[in-house]
Amino acid sequence: MPQVTANGLSFHVQVLTHADEHGDPVPGRPKVVMLHGLVIDNLSSWYYTLAHPLALVADVHLYDLRGHGRSEMPASGYSVEQNVDDLVALLDHWGIDEPVHLFGNSFGGVVSLAMAHRHPERVASLFLIEAHFAVEGWGEHMAGSLALAAFGLDEDAVQAWLDENADRKLSRLAKRSERFLMETSLIDDLQAEQPIGWLGEIHCPTYALYGSESDILDRARELEAKVPTCQLEIVPGSSHSLLTEESHLVRERALAWLAQVGHPPAPSAGA
């Protein structure tokens, strides 16, 4: 189980790449970093959907966000900015100094957008699936009394999931999720998030996928309207669980996106 220390915490990471016949890294491959959703999620949602197909054409880096999966769960420090700090520290640990292609699902989209705003020189493109971002009332809506309603879960649904899985094979995940929600500052940190006003400052190529039945479809419209480079696709009949509901379609779009933006344009003749 690969564990690395970055930004003072232990993170569970996976790196998928290819070597040449001598065992050396293949040069020139795009660098992809994938960020997953909140609480009942971890890097496996990417690992078992897009990571391996993308690793055929790119070096793919995955990690469990702080508090998630097999990464360390500190008592505090779950703001979007602190998650961005984690990402920067991991890029430094991996020795990646070139711009990366960020793939963000749900809350991973929050972190991806914030990274592109705060460190534009380190982000080559964004591929966003059902991406959240802070609007007026978002923090309280996300945080209040375990509501997490913006992710398709309410307090009763969260507790029912925990209860249902408490004595089953997934008991470890259920108990960890309960501890995450009840014993860390996650709820308070979400509640403290302020609305963002900088979407218009995102200038890297951006592709956004949302389901037509998503409960955050208004975010899709706002991204399209405010991010100058945003290409939006709305998938008919899909919900916020688009990554798993339409994994084949998402895989096709992701590969096409990397083929489009994964390499810098060749210099013109005489340049």
Domain regions of the chain by residue span: 3-138+197-261
Task: Determine the pLDDT at residue 27.
Answer: 83
φ, ψ of residue 140 in degrees (nearest 5): -65, -40
In whole angstroms, what is the distance from residue 76 CA to residue 26 CA? Answer: 39
- CB of 224 closer than 8 Å to CB of 87: no
Task: Determine the pLDDT at residue 223.
Answer: 95
Task: Determine the pLDDT at residue 183.
Answer: 86
In whole angstroms, what is the distance from residue 40 CA to residue 30 CA? Answer: 29
Under DSSP, the state recorded for 200 is: G
DSSP β-ladder status, 123-129 and 230-235: unpaired
Which string of DSSP letters, residue by residue, matches 16-67? Answer: E--B-TTSPBPTT--EEEEE--SSS--THHHIIIIIHHHHTTSEEEEEPPTT
In whole angstroms, what is the distance from residue 16 CA to residue 54 CA? Answer: 9
pTM for the model stands at: 0.87
- CB of 99 closer than 8 Å to CB of 203: no
Longest dimension (CA), the chain: 68
CATH superfamily of 3-138+197-261: Alpha/Beta hydrolase fold, catalytic domain (3.40.50.1820)
Under DSSP, the state recorded for 223 is: H
One digit per residue, the tens of pLDDT, for the chain of length 271 reads 699 999 999 999 999 998 777 777 788 899 999 999 988 889 999 999 999 999 999 999 999 999 999 999 999 999 999 999 999 999 999 999 999 999 999 999 999 999 999 999 999 999 999 998 877 777 766 665 443 433 344 455 555 555 555 555 445 666 777 788 778 999 889 888 889 999 999 999 999 999 999 989 999 999 999 999 999 999 999 999 999 999 999 999 999 999 999 875 444 344 3
